[in-house]
Structure 1
Amino acid sequence: MPRLTRRQVVTGMVAALLGGPVVVAAESGVAPRTRAWTWRGGLSVRSALSADGGLRGATIRVPFPFNALAIIAAQPDSRIRVRTSADTRVWSDWQTIEIGESHGRKGDGSAPAALAMVETGQYLEISADEGVAECQIDVIDSAPSVRSSQSLRSLQAGVSIVSRQGWSADESYRYDERGAELWTPRVYTPHKVVVHHTATSNTESNPAATVRAIHYYHARTLGWGDIGYNYLVDRNGVVYEGRYGGQGVEAGHALGHNGGSIGIACIGTYSSVQISSACRSSLTALIADRARTIDPIDSSWFVDGEMTNVMGHRDAMQYRAGGGTACPGNTLYGLMSTIREEVVSTMGGRPSARLTIDNLAISSNGFIDGGVVGIAVTVRNTGTATVATQDPRAALQYDERESADGRGFGGQSGTWRVALDTRDGAAGFPFRWGLPDALAPGQSATVTGAIQLWTPGRRDVKARVVREGRGEYVDSPTAVSLVVVDRASLGHRVVVPVSPRRSGS
């Protein structure tokens, strides 16, 4: 039996977890290797005033023909202009590159950057605004043609995906010089989709070369170790596999909102240009297939605010101070509502969530005042939609005089939590815990917690699973009873706790 590669093992595990194979295109033959060369310079120091009022640097000869530039500027909100030539006699038009519109930052967050696809050349000339003191340019050649044909396979929704091997991803980018992964893959249950544009050319004749350039820019220039998107879609409707690791893997496409989201980028700039019908069709089909348990129309709290389940990049960043972005461009963003409806139509209807409580158990049913009761509640998703959750996570201990709100864990709209009441529901279920992760259809999760008890007497413990801010909840079928004894009334008597109790036992 042949030995499985690590990639095959990870892909198999993720497919089993998320319910379906990751169907991608494979490609054989010698893969083109992306080349890069780095130039660093102080533009204001070694420049002369150009006709357009900016600063123009000397002509730079690159060791090989190139088709992309990854630029890091020391100053945010810089504008740098470039033009290229094969021989210094005929030059391309000047191309303006905006630095700082959340196109990306180095891994340490220290410097803004941008990627530009340019006319192929071997010479480069740079012009910059006054005050741009220095910059770094990674000059990239991602254009070598692929020698063997692609073999495409279709997903359920009728879209094909080109594998990383198919577009010639350089897997060495994922590792540092010691062989350690730069971004360790982590898998989450997806419950959001974030749509982007790549802010690159709309007329690129070799979209796979653009994907390779983006890969180098994200992995090497910015130091992320891999491409930031989970998937990319070109104007011909071809879909490319992005981040290594398969379905559910955390990518690097929306700062602070990567875990639990699927990042899909439409290749091009869609600030004023509409995406092609082929791109739109594949985007819709891809979302319907890869996010088939996510209700596109619904919304829930995600990290720092309530967001629609299928959103534009700017929606994910709307609550972050200084984190605003125009992505995915005004025209594509203006289509998001229509795209959501088209995804629902492709799915055949909106998936819906339904949670039930399968079991409620407590650690004992007899306590002296000040004792701590442990609780365990098993929840199951019997619906067709993945549900989101929130803090606090399992094992948090409350004092019975406290509440989730009082501890700083107020309800976040649209999320689901387990709620507990030690007075048969009369106290309003003040103790709440989140699920371990978003819960996909058919999955179960056991939530644990603890409450320190002070008030003597008999009480009934009841559990509820609640959708915060929506008035939706499901109660446990039965309650379990416990007794708290006043320590002062014990005298010399000994109270021996009895065995753990479960609802219905």
Structure 2
Amino acid sequence: MRQNKRALTRRTVLEAAGLAAGAAVSVPVLASAAQAEPSTRTRRVPRTRAKTFSGAAARSVESAFPVEFVGVTWTGAQRGAAIRLLDQDGKAGAWQTLKPVCAAGADGDAGDPAKSASVLVPVGGASGYELRMPDGATDVRSTAIDTVNGPTFDVTVKTDTASFRGVEYITRAGWGADESLRFKADGTENSPQTYYPAQTLTVHHTAGANGDTDPAATIRAYYYLHAITNDWGDIGYHFLIDEAGLVYEGRYTGTDGIPAHNADGKMVTAFHTSGFNSGNLGIAVLGTFESQAPTAAAGASLTRLLAALSDYHDLDPKAAVTFVNPVNGVTKDVQMISGHRDWLATDCPGTTLYGNLPDLRKAVATARSTT
């Protein structure tokens, strides 16, 4: 399979975000009026190219551009889906099992979220693909996505390190978010931000590839799949963490400098746990953790971020709570720090990562007590 050189690599993202390996710089969450405005610079990012196919057309696709990712969504059984890729000569490869992430979407979506499946597959420049779906699958859609090789556009990035309560993170501009994807054709925002006090913190995995060499490109692909294909209007998570331990800003919250929150400290509603989003903050670790744990670097960043959020919202990391969705009144008894499968029928965040949650809660409590 042909491999394409990705235009915005981890190193480029580090430079764009103003981060240096091993740095431990902390800046205030809110800048005072007396502080000078941070300097900025312009970076060029590949514009996402994508095309979505529905029904029978979704199952056999030949693309006009090199396909770096394939997003597949359907309603029905979670098991039994597979994909095989076409190389540049049109030759089909071996069938590969699809492992979906389910039970995500906006609060109030109709239907059973446990039967709504979604998966993003890195395919490394394929010319097309074929799908094999579970018996009885309906609403099948596939999206050919290229976040690597398309024409570029400019993003303005602050040269200062972005930090939330001592946790460095890469801004949306740093990973190359095309903010136009949040808007409909008539110029209105697809999913305007709503804010509520944070009640719980939920851990996810993306069920994607481990050993990702270009997490920023992967996040741009999830962004397109969530915002456009799924019609959520934005990426579904508040934060994402890669194998190197880099933290990425997710859902858009304006330009006040507080990721995932408004200036009053309320949390923006995202789309990571259908029916239980408002007041529930979602963090996704890039990769699949059914039989392996996240890297030590990813685990350390997850601990620091959860500790910072727990401290910011005065949440007890080891508490059991009753979540109450302020939008629809739905309740759920969960741990303060939960896994996606605690909310809905899903394998997320993977057997290994889910099994580590008791130790993670203890580590977060210890980290919070020392901050």
Q: Same fold (TM over 0.5)?
A: yes
Distance 1:63 1:106 in 2: 36
Question: How far off is 1:105 after superposition?
Answer: 8.3
1:337 and 1:278, CA in 2 relative to 1: closer, same or farther beyond 3 A?
A: same
Q: Relative to total residues, which structure has the larger helix share, 1 or 2?
A: 2
Aligned to 2:98: 97
TM-superposition CA deviations, 1:75-119 (whole Å, max 9, x none) = 443532112233236554422114574255898545823122222
1:86 and 1:295, CA in 2 relative to 1: closer, same or farther beyond 3 A?
A: same
Which amino acid is the alignment partner of residue 176 of structure 1? K
Is the 1:105–1:113 Cα contact (8 Å) retained in structure 2?
no
Q: Quick one: which of 187, 193, 200 aligns to 1:192?
A: 200
Which amino acid is the alignment partner of residue 329 of structure 1? G
Distance 2:54 2:177 in 1: 26
1:163 and 1:92, CA in 2 relative to 1: closer, same or farther beyond 3 A?
A: farther
1:34 and 1:296, CA in 2 relative to 1: closer, same or farther beyond 3 A?
A: same
Distance 2:283 2:138 in 1: 35
1:83 and 1:27, CA in 2 relative to 1: closer, same or farther beyond 3 A?
A: farther
Is the 1:68–1:115 Cα contact (8 Å) retained in structure 2?
no
Aligned: 1:122 with 2:122: no
Question: How far off is 1:254 after superposition?
Answer: 1.3
Using the TM superposition, name which of 140-149 and 28-37 deviates more: 140-149
Aligned to 1:326: 347
1:132 and 1:254, CA in 2 relative to 1: closer, same or farther beyond 3 A?
A: closer
Distance 2:227 2:139 in 1: 22
Distance 2:298 2:39 in 1: 18
1:156 and 1:294, CA in 2 relative to 1: closer, same or farther beyond 3 A?
A: same
SS in 1 for 2:304: helix
Alignment of 1:80-479 (within 5 A): 80-88=81-89, 91-98=92-99, 101-102=102-103, 108-109=109-110, 112-120=116-124, 121-132=126-137, 135-144=140-149, 151=159, 153=161, 155=163, 158-245=166-253, 246=259, 247=261, 248-292=267-311, 293-303=314-324, 304-315=331-342, 317=343, 323-348=344-369
1:227 and 1:207, CA in 2 relative to 1: closer, same or farther beyond 3 A?
A: same
What number of residue pairs does the alignment pair up?
A: 312
Give ranges in structure 2 of 5+ residues lacking alignment: 1-27, 32-37, 254-258, 262-266, 325-330
Alignment of 1:27-38 (within 5 A): 28-38=42-52
Is the 1:78–1:132 Cα contact (8 Å) retained in structure 2?
no
Aligned to 2:64: 63
Distance 1:250 1:129 in 2: 32
RMSD across aligned C-alpha pairs, in angstroms? Answer: 3.2
Is the 1:25–1:160 Cα contact (8 Å) retained in structure 2?
no
| TM-score, normalised with respect to structure 1 | 0.56
Is the 2:226–2:236 Cα contact (8 Å) retained in structure 1?
yes
1:221 and 1:113, CA in 2 relative to 1: closer, same or farther beyond 3 A?
A: farther
1:281 and 1:137, CA in 2 relative to 1: closer, same or farther beyond 3 A?
A: same
Which amino acid is the alignment partner of residue 272 of structure 1? S
Question: How far off is 1:191 after superposition?
Answer: 2.6
TM-superposition CA deviations, 1:245-296 (whole Å, max 9, x none) = 1322111111222222221110111111110000000111111223312110
Question: How far off is 1:190 after superposition?
Answer: 1.5
Is the 1:25–1:163 Cα contact (8 Å) retained in structure 2?
no
Using the TM superposition, name which of 272-281 and 184-193 deviates more: 184-193
Which amino acid is the alignment partner of residue 72 of structure 2? I
TM-superposition CA deviations, 1:326-363 (whole Å, max 9, x none) = 2111111111111111112222269xxxxxxxxxxxxx
SS in 2 for 1:306: strand
Using the TM superposition, name which of 231-240 and 243-252 deviates more: 243-252
Which amino acid is the alignment partner of residue 286 of structure 1? L
* % identical aligned pairs: 32
Aligned to 2:9: none
1:101 and 1:29, CA in 2 relative to 1: closer, same or farther beyond 3 A?
A: closer
SS in 1 for 2:80: strand
TM-superposition CA deviations, 1:143-173 (whole Å, max 9, x none) = 3499999957263765321100111111112
Which amino acid is the alignment partner of residue 337 of structure 1? P
Is the 2:317–2:336 Cα contact (8 Å) retained in structure 1?
yes
Structure having greater relative contact order (Cα 8 Å, sep ≥ 6): 2
1:259 and 1:26, CA in 2 relative to 1: closer, same or farther beyond 3 A?
A: farther
